[in-house]
Amino acid sequence: MTRTNAAKIVNEEAIGELLCGTTTAPETSLVLDVLAKAKELKGLDARDVTVLATLQDPELLAELFRMAKEIKENIYGQRMVIFSPLYISNLCKNECLYCAFRAKNKALKRRTLSQNEIRNETEILIKQGHKRVLLVAGESYPQQGFQYVLDSIATLYNASVGKGEIRRVNVNVAPLTVDEFRQLKAAQIGTYQLFQETYHRPTYKKVHTGGQKADYDWRISAMDRAIEAGIDDVGIGVLFGLCDWRFELLALMQHANYLESRYGVGPHTISVPRLEPAVGSDMASHPPTPVNDTDFQKIVAILRLAVPYTGIIMSTRETPKMRRETFALGVSQISAGSRTNPGGYAEGEDLEDQAQFSLGDHRSLDEVILDVAKLGYIPSFCTGCYRLGRTGQDFMDMAKPGLIKQHCDPNALSTFLEYLLDYGSQQTVVAGETLIANAIERMDKPTRQRSEEMLAKVRNGRRDVFC
C-alpha cells in the first residue's frame, strides 16, 4: 500500500482540527446528547467521540461510565470471554524502543520454543482449563521462517489432554503478505490481531528505529491484506502511553470506520494495552505520554459506546483492580494466568530477563475465574461462532439485532460448566454453580430450555457442546 492509500485510513489533519477546538470542556447538554445517541447502540462519530474524550466534569464522567455499563450489559450480558497468550519466541529483528524483545536489547535472554516445547506449554494450558489461545511472537523466526508459525498453530490444535483441547487459536504476529495471510487462514486461525502501537506518524517514526516495523504503511495496511486473504475476524489496537490518547482514540475509530466502510465489517476486537515496564527499555518505564487510570477507564467506556458490537480485550498488563473496574465499562474478553516469556508456563514463572513486559495481574486462571464469577460475570470459553462459520459480517449480522445472545448465553454456560467439572477448585465450583443457576433463572424460555439441554449433556460427560 502506498503512503497515499494508507493516508485514507488515518487523516491526521482531520483529527487535529477536531482536537484543536477542544480547549474548553464541552457543554453539559452536548455530552448528554451524545450519551442519548449512544443508547441507541448505533455507535458514535468522530465529533461525538471528541466530546466524550474532552469532558472533565466528574458527574458527566459518572454518566459516561453508567451508560457504558448499560450498553455492555445490554449487548454482552454477563459473559466474559477468557483466553491465554502463548509466546513461542522472543527473537526479533525490529527496534521498538518500548519492547524488551527489540533486537539490540542485550539484557534479554533469547529463546525460541521447539515444537515439543510448544506442545508442552499447550498441554499445561489445557490442564488449567484453557480453550482459547493467542499465539504471540517477535518478528524473527528460526530457519523455517514463517512456516514456524504455521507449524506452531498445528501443534497447538493437535495437542489434547484428557477431555481438553485448544479450540481456537488467535494470532498476534508481525504483518504478513497476502500469500502468508492465506496460509494463516488455511491453518484455521480465529482472529488475526495486530496493534498499530501509535497512529501518529512522527511518534511512530521516533519509537520504531529499525527493522521492517519502522514502515508505518506496511503495518497499517496489514488488515487490508489479511481481509483480502479471507481472514474476516481482525483485531486492532493502540499501545497507550506513546502519544496523546485522544489522538489515538480518534485514529483508532478512523481505522475501524475505514474497515467497516471498505469491507462491510469493522474490527472484531479492539485491544487497549498500556505501556508497562520492560527489561532494557527506558521508554517502557517512562512513557512519553502516560495515560492515568481515570483516562484509561474513559478510553474503555468511550470505545464501548462508539463501537458497541466490537469486543474489547483487557490483558494481564493491568492490575486485578483495574481489570475489575473496566469489566463494568465494556471489556468483553480477558487473558488470565498469563506469561510473556517463551516457555513461561513450564517454568512456572514470568522470568523478567525473558519476558516482553511486566505483568500487573499474576493470579492463576482459577483465581481469576473465581473472582470474575464472584463479580457476577460468567467466564466463557466459547468458540462456537468461529467453528460454525459465524465470523466477520455473518457474526455482525446476528450481533446487531441481538440474535447472537441466543447462542452466546447457552454456549457461555456450557463451556463454563465444562471448566467447573474438569478443572475448577472446590471454591470456584460452589461460586460457579450458583452463578449458573441464577443465570438460568433470568433467561427467556427458549434460551433457558436450550441452555438446560446443553448443560445436561455436559453433566452427562459430553464435551464441546455448542449451538
Q: Rule CB under 6 A: which residues touch ligand SAM?
A: 98-99, 136, 138-139, 172-174, 194-195, 197, 239, 273, 275-276, 278, 284, 317, 356-357
Our finding on whether 306 is near ligand SF4 (CB under 6 A) is no
Question: Per-residue b/e over 260-292, b at no fewer than 16 CB within 10 Å?
Answer: beebebbbbbbbbbbbbebbebebbeebbbebe
Place of cell 471489556: 331
* Residue 77 or 211 with smaller CB distance to ligand SF4: 211
For residue 136, the partner it binds in ligand SF4, ligand SAM, none, with Cβ less than 5 to 8 A by kind, is ligand SAM
Least Cβ distance, residue 132 to ligand SF4 (angstroms): 21
For residue 239, the partner it binds in ligand SAM, ligand SF4, none, with Cβ less than 5 to 8 A by kind, is ligand SAM
Q: Are 306 and 48 in contact (CB under 8 A)?
A: yes
* Residue 213 or 255 with smaller CB distance to ligand SF4: 213
Least Cβ distance, residue 250 to ligand SF4 (angstroms): 23
The Cβ of residue 116 has, within 10 Å, a number of other Cβ atoms equal to 9
Least Cβ distance, residue 4 to ligand SF4 (angstroms): 25
Report residue 270 as a C-alpha cell.
479492539
Least Cβ distance, residue 295 to ligand SAM (angstroms): 16
Least Cβ distance, residue 347 to ligand SAM (angstroms): 18
Our finding on whether 219 is near ligand SF4 (CB under 6 A) is no
Our finding on whether 55 is near ligand SF4 (CB under 6 A) is no
Part of the chain binding ligand SF4 (CB under 6 A), chosen from 74-82, 91-99, 253-261, 295-303: 91-99
* Residue 31 or 92 with smaller CB distance to ligand SF4: 92
Residue 124: C-alpha distances to residues 130, 131, 162, 342, 368 (Å): 9, 12, 12, 13, 17
Part of the chain binding ligand SF4 (CB under 6 A), chosen from 94-102, 177-185, 334-342, 445-453: 94-102
* Residue 96 or 275 with smaller CB distance to ligand SF4: 96
Least Cβ distance, residue 169 to ligand SAM (angstroms): 15
Report residue 442 as a C-alpha cell.
433470568
Could you give the 3-state DSSP secondary structure of residue 335? strand
Neighbour-count burial of 326, counting CB atoms closer than 10 A to its CB (0-12 exposed, 13-18 middle, 19+ buried): buried
Residues in CB range of 23: below 8 A, 6 or more apart? none
For residue 323, the partner it binds in ligand SAM, ligand SF4, none, with Cβ less than 5 to 8 A by kind, is none
What is the tally of helices (H) and strands (E) in the chain? 22, 11
Strand partners, 209: none
Our finding on whether 92 is near ligand SF4 (CB under 6 A) is yes
Candidates 416, 354, 418; CA nearest to 164 is 418
- Write each residue from 133 to 172 as x if it is in contact with ligand SF4 (CB under 6 A), else as -, in one continuous string: -----xx---------------------------------
Our finding on whether 99 is near ligand SF4 (CB under 6 A) is yes
Residues in CB range of 319: below 8 A, 6 or more apart? 360, 361
Cα Rg, the chain, nearest whole Å? 21
What's the rounded Cα separation, in Å, for the pair 136 and 234? 15
For residue 317, the partner it binds in ligand SF4, ligand SAM, none, with Cβ less than 5 to 8 A by kind, is ligand SAM
* Residue 195 or 466 with smaller CB distance to ligand SAM: 195
What's the rounded Cα separation, in Å, for the pair 72 and 304? 7
Least Cβ distance, residue 81 to ligand SAM (angstroms): 19
Q: Are 362 and 350 in contact (CB under 8 A)?
A: yes
* Residue 77 or 288 with smaller CB distance to ligand SF4: 288
Least Cβ distance, residue 109 to ligand SF4 (angstroms): 15
Could you give the 3-state DSSP secondary structure of residue 433? helix
- Write each residue from 169 to 188 as x if it is in contact with ligand SF4 (CB under 6 A), else as -, in one continuous string: -----x--------------
Strand partners, 82: 334
Our finding on whether 313 is near ligand SF4 (CB under 6 A) is no
Judged by CB under 6 A, the residue of 76, 101, 245, 247 near ligand SF4 is 101
Q: Where are the beta strands (DSSP E) in 304-377?
A: 311-314, 333-335
Give contact residues for ligand SF4 (rule: CB under 6 A). Answer: 92, 94, 96, 99, 101-102, 138-139, 174, 213
